[in-house]
Structures are given as C-alpha cells and as structure tokens.
Amino acid sequence: MDEDYDVIVLGTGLKECILSGLLSVDGLKVLHMDRNDYYGGESSSLMLNQLWKRFKGDENPSESLGISKEYNVDMIPKFMMANGVLVRALVHANVAKYLNFKAVDGSFVYNKGKIYKVPATDVEALKSSIMGLFEKRRARKFFIYVQDYEENDPKSHEGLDLTTIPAKELISKYGLEDDTIEFIGHALALYTSDSYLEQPAIDFVKRIRLYAESIARFESGSPYIYPMYGLGELPQAFARLSAVYGGTYMLNKPQCKVEFDDSGKVIGVTSDGETAKCKKVVCDPSYVPDMVKKVGKVARAICIMSHPIPDTNECHSAQVIIPQKQLNRNSDMYLFCCSYSHNVAPQGKFISFVTTEAETDDPESELKPGVDLLGPVDEIFYETYDRYEPTNDSGADSCFVSTSYDATTHFETTMIDVLTLYTKITGKELNLSVDLSAASASGGEE
C-alpha cells in the first residue's frame, strides 16, 4: 500500500464507484478502499437474511418469504432515466456492457386520493383522466411547445427567451391549473420543491423533454430502466472497469484515516499502520465526520409484498410520486416497487419502498399515507438515516466529499452531485455526448 496515487477513493457507494471509474478512464492512478468487506456502502444490496439481521437481529425470516439468496434488496433504490446522465456515464465509461437493464413498467403520480399514469406527451395528455377536457387541451398545447422547442431554432421559441423568463411565466402563458403544474413539475420534471418556478424555464423544458425522450426510447410505460439483480451490480461493474485501467481495490480496510499536511492539504490515507500517499481524496461523509454537517433526515419503509402496488396496472416495477401539497407536506413522498421480473426477489414476491424527507421523529405515522397505498404487506421495516453535506473547501484541502443520498427514487439528484464533484476534481466538464444505443434494455414484463 506504500505507493503514490493521484486519487484515493474511500467507500464503495454508488457515487464513489462512479467517480472512481470515470477518473480511472481519465488515466488517473486510483486506489479505492472500503472499511467494509462488501461493495456498496450505504447503497449496498442485501439478501433476505442480511436484511433480517439488520432490522430484526438474530431472528430467522419466515420460510413463506422464500430463499434468502434470491433477494437483492437495494438499500438506496433508485431508477435510472433511460436517456439520463447516469446511463450516459455508464456508456461513456464503457460499463454498460457489464450490466443487463430492463425497462421499468410504470411511472405514476398521486392526485386527490388516486394514482394516475404520468402523461408525458400531447397524445397522452388527451387520453389522461387526471385532467378535465378543457385542461387536456391546454396541456396538449404546452406539451407540443416543449416537444417542438429547439434551443438553436428561434422560430420554435415563440418569442420567449427561456434562459431569462422563469418557469412560472412560461406555464402562465398556457393557463395550466395548479394540479397540472404540480404533476408536471414533480412527476415529469422531477423537481423536489417548487423553487424551480422562479428559475429560468430552460431547465424545466429540458427536464420534460428528457422524460418524454426516455419513454420513447424503450416504448415502455415509464422513462426508467433498472439493472437485473438490482443496483448491487453497479459498484462491481465499476470495480471491473477501474481494474481494466489499472485501478486498485481494497476492501475490509479498517479505520481509513485521511491525512493532511501542516497547511491543511490532503497528503494520503492511513489504514492498518500503512499510509498510501495521494494528491486528492474522494469519500462519503462517514469517512470525515468532522468535515460535514447534518442537513436533513430520510424516513423510509421497506416492504416485502406478494402483489404489485394496487392501481398501477399490475406493473411489476413502478414509481409513484406523491407531490408534497397532496399530503400538506414540505417534501414529496416516493413509492418504489420492483419484483422477481428484475430478479430482486423470488417468484411472486415484490419489494416496495416508501421514502420521504423526514419532517417528524415518527417515521411510521409520517409514511402511513404512502404505505396505505401498497395494500397488504408480508413484512415491513422502518428506518431513518441522517443526510450530510460537506462543510470543507475542497479547492483548498483537496478532499472531495459526496452528499448523502436523498429520498428520491430516481438518480437525477445523485448524478448532479457526481458531475459537480467530477468537475471540482478534474477541472473539466464530463463529456456525456455518447451513443446511447450501447445501453439497451429489454421491455416490460417477461
């Protein structure tokens, strides 16, 4: 271990693994260490007996739940947008070939006590029962504007400069109702708060286009894809990639301590009495507790079921977003469902998560509106975890700390953090203009 590296990465969570792979491809000499004897960190995948041990101690799971090793329960479950940044990064790093993806069957939104499919195009808007007749026509016109919008074609702008006008001004032009604005903003554009309404409309339009283009790509009921056997395959795929480019992985390295010189700059990492020297360190918040602050808390319920989420068209994999105002909350609630069709559970079993940014200290009561939508559950586990953000100046000390995973059940916010860190570490933007056909996915249910 007594060698010099360009970068030492601590923790094998998804963010750290993606960065490790990208930096290896860039030709940097990378050492990747983890205090655990398994990949994944906070974002690991657990078999049933591991899940049981984590939540119920020494008890044994009921035999009716099936064989332990047929479960791959992701602790940070998130779907990937088919045309999104993570898939582009996988193709860019040539990792997509190590993974088998499958389209996610459905994308839904909760409105006034009911679950609706999220309409994403002018055609779907006309068919959707979430809106009345006149609102459908207004929404159709809005979607046509978004679909026809080309940044480099002023004719398609209809006199609007989306780089300066806020999203709410664009929306007001079409006279959309509050409920429509809510599902477009939260279930289509995937914003986690309403602050986007005051921001330039260009990002809003790009997000809606990404959603619609992602749906069109695999012609399934959602814009999302998910790896067979779950996300646990991702860190290992990046480990293979890193190894191809000369990266070194070391698991089960206790007490990884980041070392600084007298000026406060990173000089290496010590573990087991040995120090590996480096110019930069990348890590998750757990490795540098004195360089992060708590910014929130995620509450979640993990459920094992024997049926799909009711009112989701029997989808074997689905996301349901419950916008914050529907529950008089400050943050959205997310339902995630995956099943044996993605090989994450035995035949006939479904894994569902209900997650949200915690606003109380009672996750059971707080998550009840989401859990009630699931119908009968075979088993349910409740948990909260704290969210941290770095407080250090990475430009001064060369220690690049990721933020904790939020409650969303898609990768969009995760990848914003990854790309921001990549640019800080390398001083350049990641070029993600790639041929997406390299990441294919099989369609709906098998």
78: CATH: 3.30.519.10
Mean pLDDT computed over 105-134: 91
Query: Is residue 123 located within the same domain as residue 207?
Result: yes
Q: Which of 72-81, 258-267, 376-385, 437-446 has the lowest mean pLDDT?
A: 437-446
Query: Is residue 32 located within the same domain as residue 58?
Result: no
State the pLDDT at residue 68.
95
Out of 155, 190, 217, a domain closes at 217
85 lies in a domain? yes
The domain of 208 spans: 119-217
State the pLDDT at residue 5.
96
Query: Is residue 368 located within the same domain as residue 250?
Result: no
359 lies in a domain? yes
Mean pLDDT computed over 205-210: 94
Query: Is residue 401 located within the same domain as residue 285?
Result: yes
Out of 158, 192, 217, a domain closes at 217
State the pLDDT at residue 443.
58
Out of 166, 182, 217, a domain closes at 217
112 lies in a domain? no
pLDDT tens per residue across span 127-147: 889 999 999 999 999 999 999
pLDDT tens per residue across span 222-263: 999 999 999 988 888 887 888 888 888 898 998 899 999 999
Share of the chain above pLDDT 70, in %: 98
442 lies in a domain? no
Mean residue pLDDT across the chain: 92
pLDDT at 104 over 80: yes
443 lies in a domain? no
Query: Is residue 328 located within the same domain as residue 202?
Result: no
Provide the number of structural domains found in the chain.
3
The confidence band for 119, taking pLDDT boundaries of 50, 70 and 90, is confident
- Residues 367, 332: Cα–Cα separation, whole Å: 11
- Distance spanning both ends of the chain, measured CA to CA: 47
The CATH number of residue 192's host domain is: 1.10.405.10
The CATH number of residue 270's host domain is: 3.50.50.60
Q: Spell out a b/e string for 288-316, using b for 16 or more CB atoms within 10 Å of the CB, else e.
A: beebbeeebbbbbbbbbbebbbebbeebb
Mean pLDDT computed over 392-409: 95
Query: Is residue 270 located within the same domain as residue 403?
Result: yes
Query: Is residue 60 located within the same domain as residue 144?
Result: no
110 lies in a domain? no
pLDDT tens per residue across span 313-367: 999 999 999 999 999 999 999 999 999 999 999 999 999 999 999 999 999 999 9
State the pLDDT at residue 440.
65
Query: Is residue 300 located within the same domain as residue 326?
Result: yes
What is each CA distance from 56 to 49, 297, 382, 434, in whole angstroms? 10, 22, 11, 45
State the pLDDT at residue 139.
93
State the pLDDT at residue 445.
43
Query: Is residue 276 located within the same domain as residue 403?
Result: yes
Query: Is residue 288 located within the same domain as residue 298?
Result: no
Mean pLDDT computed over 77-91: 90
pLDDT tens per residue across span 295-320: 999 999 999 999 999 999 999 999 99
111 lies in a domain? no
State the pLDDT at residue 441.
63
Query: Is residue 298 located within the same domain as residue 288?
Result: no
101: burial class by Cβ within 10 Å (0-12, 13-18, 19+)?
A: buried
76 lies in a domain? yes
Query: Is residue 272 located within the same domain as residue 298?
Result: no
State the pLDDT at residue 352.
97
